[in-house]
Structure formats: C-alpha cells, structure tokens
Amino acid sequence: MNIKTRMKKLLLVAIILGATNLSAAESSKIKNEDFKGYNNVQNSVKGNVTDESGIALAGVNIVEKGTSNGTTTDFDGNYSIDVADGATLVFSYIGFGTSEEVVSGRSIINVSLSEGMKLEEFIVVGSRTAPRSNADTPLPVDVVGVKELTSTGQATFDKALQYRIPSFNTVQTPVNDATSLLDPYEIRNMGPSRTLILINGKRKNLSALLYTQTSPGRGETGADISAIPTDAIKRVEILRDGASAQYGSDAIAGVMNIILKNSANQGSATVRAGITSEGDGEMFGVALNNGSEIGEDKGFVNYTVDLSKVNLSNRPGTVDAEGEAGDFGANIVDVQEFLSRRPDAGNINGSPETAAAKFSVNFGYDLSENTQLYANAAYVYKAVNSFANYRTPYWRTVDDFPYLADFFPGNHPTNDGGYDGYVPTFEGLLSDYNATVGFKSTINDWNLDASFTTGGNLQTYKVNNSHNRNVVFSPSTWVDANSNGTVDDGEITEGSQLYRENSQQSFDPGGTKFSHNVGNIDISRLLSDKVSIGVGAEFRTETFEVIEGELASYDGGGADSFAGASPQNAGKFNRYNIGGYLSLDYDITDAFLLSGTVRTENYSDFGNAFVYKFSSRYKVSDAFTLRGSISSGFRAPTLHQIYTQKAQYSFVPGQGIQVGGLINNVSTQAKLLGIPQLDAETSTNFTLGFGGKISKFSYTFDYYNIAVKDRIVLGSEIGPSGDATNPLDILLTNNNLSDVSFFSNAIDTKTSGVDVVLAYKGIDLGSGSLDLNLSGNYTIQNERDGAVKDVPLVANSGQSVVNETQEALFFTSRPKTKWILGTNYDINKFGFSLNNTYFGKTTFQQQGLDSNLFTEFTPKIVTDLGINFNASEKFTIALNINNLLDVLPEWSFKSKNAAGDAILADPVQTKNQSNLITFNQRYSQMTYDGYHFSQLGTMFNLSLNYKF
C-alpha cells in the first residue's frame, strides 16, 4: 500500500490524534533533559520504518518499552532515539501491526510494518479527543474489515452486516410498497432511526422513505446503507453505545462509521454471479476499485464503480379457497375454479427485481506539510420492480369494472371477455448522493478539522397495470351499467352505476425527497501526556419534500394499490439546528481513564436539547480491562414523521385490502382530533463491560441498558367509534377512509441486553492457520415502561395507538438472541470459512389475530460456507453457498390461556386464524408482517477477483 503520499501530510495530525501521547516538542524535551544519564548508559539508535512495499511511513510512534521516552519518524520514515542499554523499542502505527525490537547494542534498526495485522485494536468512532485502541477504549466497538464483509457472499452491505454483527438486524419484508427500495435495519432492537451512520466520520443523509406499513421499522426512517458499494469500504466501526453527546441526534442505540478505502495504487476488479436453489433471483455484478497518486507524493484518489442486477425471487403460498370466498363474499365455485389455475392467486412476493449503479470516490491532498485537503463523494441509482397483491376476478370483478375486460385478458376462455384479474406493479426509482469536502491542519499542537457535507435521497414511483375506479374528468364518456348505454356528463344521475371508459393503466403517484447540508468544525489537542481536549460545533439544515402525484393517481380512491400524493399532502418542509460539544479525557494513570462529553443542540422546530456522556476504563493488564459509561441522549423527530400525510392501501384481516389514512401532527385534522405536535425522544444509556487479550485469545462482554422517554411511534390504525357525530367518525366518512393513524410520543421503553465477542486467532493446524470466533447478542428486556399516552378521543373510543400488534413490532419482532459461530482456515492457496448464525425466536401479535393467541417463529441456524482459491498472487476465485442447508423461517401458534387452547384444539378455528394473518395463505411462510431471516433458501454465489 502506498502510504507515503498521504502519511507525510498526516504526521502532526497523527501525533495529535493518538499516534503518540506526546507532542514533538515534549518528546524532544524528554529526550534531551529528563533522560540524561538514564541507567548511566545511553545507546543512540536510528533507522527507517516502511510498509511491506518499502514505502516510508511518516509519524510512526516509537517508544522505549516501559518508559515514556519516545519519538516519531519524519517524512522519510527516519528516526533517531537515545535509549538505555538493553532496551526494547516498540514501533506502532494506525492500521498497522505493532513490532518490538530489542536493541542489544545495535545502532541501526530498520523495521517493516505489516498493514492490518491488528486493525481491530484501532478505532476512531466514539472519541472526540484522541482515539484509543480497542483494548483501551471505554466503549464497546466492533471493527469489521472489508475481507470479512465480502467473505459473507451477500450481495449488499447491509445483508453482509446481518451475518457479521449479532446486534445488527435487517429484514426483508413482503409486499410493502416503497419498502422494497431498502429494507429496515437496526442495532439492539431499537429501530433504524436510532443508529447514526457516518461516512469517514461525517453524517450520512437519511433516506426519503418513511416505513408506514405493518412491518419491523414501522414509523421510522434511516440512511440507505444498502446503497454503499462494499468494494469501496476499508473497514466499518460500530459503536454499540449511545453517543448523542458526541454526534447529536439519532445516536441513541449506536453509531456506524464507514471508512472508505484510501489506497493510491492497489486496486481490483470483481465479477459476481449468483442464483437461488429455486432457480430464480439470478444475480450478476461487476465492481471496480482502483486508486491513483496525485502529483509527486502530494495526494491520492481512490474510486469505486459497482453495477449489479438481481432478478425477481418469488415465494408465494397456496391460497385457501374458503378464506377467499369469506373475505370477498364470492361464490366458492368461482374461487375454486380460479385457484385451480392459479393456486397462488397470482401473487408475486419474495425479493424484487433490482438494478443498481453505485459510484464512490475518496480523495486526499497535501496543501502543506501540516495541512491536508480531503473529500469523498458517492452516488447511487437504483431501480426496483415489485408487485402489489393480485386483484383476483372475484375481488375486482368483471361485472363491477367491465372496461377492464379489454385491458387484462386472461388465459381461461370461460371468463367473460377474457377477464382474469390483474396485478398492479410498484416500480421505484431511487437516487442517493453524499459528498464531503474539508481540511485538517495542525497549528501550535492544535488539530483542526473543518468540513462541509451535503447529501440527499430521492424516491419516485410508478404504478402500472392498474386503474382508478373513481376518477372523474370532464368532459368524459360514461357507460350506464343499468342500460349499458352511453350517457353524457349532464345525464349522470345519483345512484346510477357509471364507469369511466378507457381508464388509464399507468400512474405517476409522486414520491419523496430528503436532503441535508452539514457544516462541522472539530478542534482537539493533547494538553499533556494525561489530558486531551476536544471541542466542536455543527450546523445542519434539512429539507423534506413530498412530491405531488398526477391527478388520476390520488383523485377519488386513487390508483388501485398505491394512491398518489395529493396537492394538500404535498409540499416542501425544512428546519435547521446548531449544536456544540466539549470533550475531555483524563488518564489518571496509565491504567485508569476518565472521559466526559457534554453537548447542547438547538432546533428551529422543537427547541433545545442538552446531553452528556461519562465513561471510564480501568486496565488491570492486557488480559483484563473493566469499562463502562453512562449517558443521556435525544432523537429529534424527523421531518418525515412531522409532515407525512397520505392515504395508503393496507391489508385488513378478513377484509382484504382497504384504504387508510395517515394524518400529520401539524394538520387541521390533527387539531380536530386533539393530537399534539411531536417532541424529541430522550434517553438514558448505561453500559458496563470487560474484556482483554491473552496471547491469541481475545474476549469482550458488555451489558447495556437503554431507557427511552417519549418514544415516537406511528400508532395503530384507529377505526370509527360507532358514533356518527364523533369527530373521528366524521373524518373517516368525509375522506372515505376505513381507519386513520398518526405519530405521537406515545410510550416510554426499556431495552437491556448483553453483547459477547470471543476470538481465538492464528491456531497452527497442520500447514495451515485456523481462526475461531463466537459473537452474540442476548436481549434481557425490551418492553414498554408505563402506560400508553393516548389522546382522549382515541382512548374514549376504546382503542389505543399502541395495541398488541404495535408492541410486537417494537419489542418482539426481532430475534431475542442471535449468535454467530465462525471458523476460518487458510492452507496454502485455499481459504475455507464456515459460519453458523443462530436466529433466536421472535413473537408476533399480528393484526387481526385472536387476542388469546400469538405466533412464534422457531429458532433456526443458518449455515454459510465459503471457499477461496488464490490461483495466483493477483487472481482469486471465491464460492459462497449461503444457507447451505436450505433452512427457512417457520412459525406456529401459541396459546396465552384456556380460550387460546380451545381455538387451537379446533382445526376450523385454527385455519381461520392462519388465514387472517397470512391473507389466506398468500404469505404462509412469514405471515403478512415479516419474519426473522431470509425466506429465499439456499443461494449460490461465485466471484472472481483480480488485483491490479
């Protein structure tokens, strides 16, 4: 790796940020004064430090072991130091393995450091002063290198993390409209909006998508991490602790810092291909990562291009005829005839067809000896084609909609006009971009970092193969269904059944857009060998836009399957905030560290927030370190949550698909219903853990406890009260809605658990080397704390914004425990990996399910096998078989009491309950509300990688 280009610029920065504990002036003073006559005998040692390619490393930390006597290499990798007779020199540098050399009378010692040998011992995320090694940090941090990500064989970055980090979970959802563009993810069962995403330490923009369907992540939004090309990533640092004091809003559960590659002359090209064991979901991708020097040892640029296509995977169930007839009031004979030809009722659900183009660039340039200009940027374009639930001919009948007969020809000659139903498409286009430019400089031992970041996410939609049953234009030609004659607009009479001829089939329902601009100033310094300080400020503006759809997409009931955004629900909304922090680290002794950070924020739309964090670490030895932290946090309501208002199609058990409404908290309707405006969530985090390293074995155990006050939730669908004069009933009737939902600070929650990481690396086995690792997360508590804070109108109607279904989505829809047992064995040109991921049970209280029952997803183990063959120094072939044993989600009913036992004892009632939560078995494998791991079964992936 050509480090020389960038390391010369970072010499003083590295000193200040932790490459050494002393400034250059302090080191010189110690050498020249404090150590004169040390042990009566002094040896002068000099030499040169390089990487494995022979490139000089500037700023390498060199310390006489057991003392504070030290120095650093200059811009050409040279050093000179006076040490005691018999001393041992310790050479260390960020991202490189540590090397020790015994002087033994030698006057010249040249050293070559290997990159990445102890990468897990260096972290950046979580510290606003000097970064600490993983053994020294008071915070639990996972560090995952790019090799660990690519070795999973997963097609996207978020799915790779799913099989590498136990506390990280992501879920594919069934037919949930825009959710097909990106899946929700979370750390420690806290939802996607409570994990802050950073790119090279700078805030990544949120997605424009707000999850509104009844699935994990409901009511929240997060950054689109699936859009980040894996080949652009050097490593990922995941702080598993609240960090609002360091980074601001969204960091209640933790922080993910994605470090981009910065190599100037090491590149590679990768070709990927894959398919599921069912013969669908074909995947093909090409990725190129490369770098280049700028000038002569002045800078670098590293860039990545990733193009991919994944075909549709379909996993429909066999639909139950009796359930269909009951839901739609259809003749059982007609239902059975249709299902005899289409046992899955034409449904298409599984994993959508996706095409993506991803671009990323990382840049650094020396403006002077102590000032570096840096920048990075990324752009992603993604197209997703998915489907709504199939509209069967007994659901949307030919008698009701005769004009569809010409548009949707069937394949059964007995159907009148050839009509056999239709399946609307949902087609989404996503664009995501982020860019940062800044500079780092060192002035009088103060490290300065100033940057500007911009980013945005745009999602627009198309609905095809559908229609609007209620759209009215004038002038128009209509058909009177009673006389089958043509009438003019003026002849339309109340009560007559009239239909628009030639209704359009394609609709533009609009979309959503989010963008932000962020300015950061961060200043830090080592005040002494024991005290370091950090101070900084951030200014951020955010804009959220709901893009209006065309008239036909929202008029009346809107496009059948996905209604567009009406003018009254569209608009552009923005806000700004400014925040500042102060951080101090105090090494009371070499073993005992105290660290504290305070932060204040002011938002233009809801006011102030003040948070703090205190952490400590006591290092008994390398074999045992005790650490802990306590902090407060906050999460501002997103603009999406404040301003989203729309009509949406949702599955209602026993009633098929109905149109419900989501009203925002600043609307007239909200005031009518007495719904208060949103405030920020607040939290208290407590962690306590220990860890250490004994030879080749390392371990960490961390307990966490997160209490969230005024948690923002998208409440359950509230139906009519039965009183026609009630404002709620009036609202529903006037807007032709079956129900209404809204956001509120409805609950307080408590979440606690344990994270465990064990690793034993470098075991000699035959002529190869074996690594073992076991990591896991166990949730001790994840539940509501206190009563639901319902608005009176809802409470008085006998309903609640947080019912049993909502509680299940918040608290039990993710695995209670998850463990990853992995082995890696390298021998000669081959590398073998075998990883077993244990997904613990999850429980649901699905919408419509009898209150005396609940469902439980059975714990499962998913086994992944990877085989690498290094055909040459530059060419590698990798085969991954994910889910080797074809393990699929499996659920069953569980009874809460005697009444539940009676239901399960009756096959008819049990079948009816199953139909209610699977839409008559359309989603038999996962139910309508999601599941705890992929339903696609075994997947085969082959990749070819060539290094330049």
> Does residue 400 sit in helix, strand or coil?
coil
pLDDT band at 706 (very low <50, low <70, confident <90, very high): very high
Question: Which candidate, 861, 825, 761, 936, places its Cα nearest to that of 154?
Answer: 936
What pLDDT is recorded for position 295?
83
Candidate ranges 75-84, 623-632, 732-741; pick with highest mean pLDDT: 623-632
Per-residue pLDDT reduced to its tens digit, 332-378? 999 999 999 999 999 988 888 999 999 999 999 999 888 999 999 99
How much of the chain, in percent, has pLDDT values that exceed 90? 51
Per-residue pLDDT reduced to its tens digit, 400-414? 565 555 444 444 444
Are the C-beta atoms of residues 916 and 316 closer than 8 Å to each other? no
Are the C-beta atoms of residues 933 and 820 closer than 8 Å to each other? no
| DSSP type of residue 549 | P
What pLDDT is recorded for position 346?
92
pLDDT surpassing 50 at residue 635: yes
Question: Which candidate, 257, 250, 241, places its Cα nearest to that of 615?
Answer: 241
Q: How confident is the model over 137-152, as a mean pLDDT?
A: 83
What pLDDT is recorded for position 658?
57
pLDDT band at 504 (very low <50, low <70, confident <90, very high): confident
Per-residue pLDDT reduced to its tens digit, 218-249? 889 999 988 889 999 999 989 989 999 999 99
pLDDT band at 131 (very low <50, low <70, confident <90, very high): low
Per-residue pLDDT reduced to its tens digit, 665-685? 888 888 878 889 999 999 999
Q: How confident is the model over 599-618, as a mean pLDDT?
A: 93
pLDDT band at 95 (very low <50, low <70, confident <90, very high): low
Length of the chain: 948
> Does residue 629 sit in helix, strand or coil?
strand
Q: How confident is the model over 919-926, as a mean pLDDT?
A: 89
Strand 233-239 with 254-260, pairing = antiparallel
pLDDT band at 655 (very low <50, low <70, confident <90, very high): low
| Residue 534 token pair | 């950090």
The per-residue DSSP string of 475-531 comes to S--EEETTTTEEE-GGG--TT--EEETT--S-B---EEEEEEEEEEEEEEEE-SSSE
Q: Which of 138-152, 630-644, 901-915 has the lowest mean pLDDT?
A: 138-152
What pLDDT is recorded for position 487?
43
Q: How confident is the model over 589-618, as a mean pLDDT?
A: 92
Enumerate residues 6+ apart whose C-beta is below 8 A from 399. Answer: none
What pLDDT is recorded for position 8?
38
What's the CA gap between 77 and 110, in Å, rounded?
A: 10
pLDDT surpassing 50 at residue 24: no
What pLDDT is recorded for position 287?
96
Q: How confident is the model over 140-144, as a mean pLDDT?
A: 84
Q: Which of 597-606, 649-658, 814-823 has the lowest mean pLDDT?
A: 649-658
Quick check: pTM over 0.85?
no
What pLDDT is recorded for position 474?
39
Q: How confident is the model over 499-511, as a mean pLDDT?
A: 76
Strand 697-714 with 681-694, pairing = antiparallel
What pLDDT is recorded for position 68?
74
What's the CA gap between 733 and 945, in Å, rounded?
A: 61
pLDDT band at 9 (very low <50, low <70, confident <90, very high): very low
Candidate ranges 86-90, 291-295, 317-321, 731-735; pick with highest mean pLDDT: 317-321
What pLDDT is recorded for position 475?
39
Task: Write out the H or E segment, with its range, that includes residue 291.
Answer: strand 283-294
What's the CA gap between 448 and 534, in Å, rounded?
A: 10
Q: What is the mean pLDDT of the chain?
A: 84
pLDDT surpassing 90 at residue 644: yes
What pLDDT is recorded for position 466?
87
Angle at which helix 898-905 crosses helix 907-918, to 10 degrees, equals 100
Q: Which of 466-475, 684-693, 763-772 has the lowest mean pLDDT?
A: 466-475
pLDDT surpassing 90 at residue 213: no
Candidate ranges 41-55, 511-525, 716-730, 808-822; pick with highest mean pLDDT: 511-525
Backbone angles phi, psi at 279, to 5 degrees: 85, 10
What pLDDT is recorded for position 717?
84
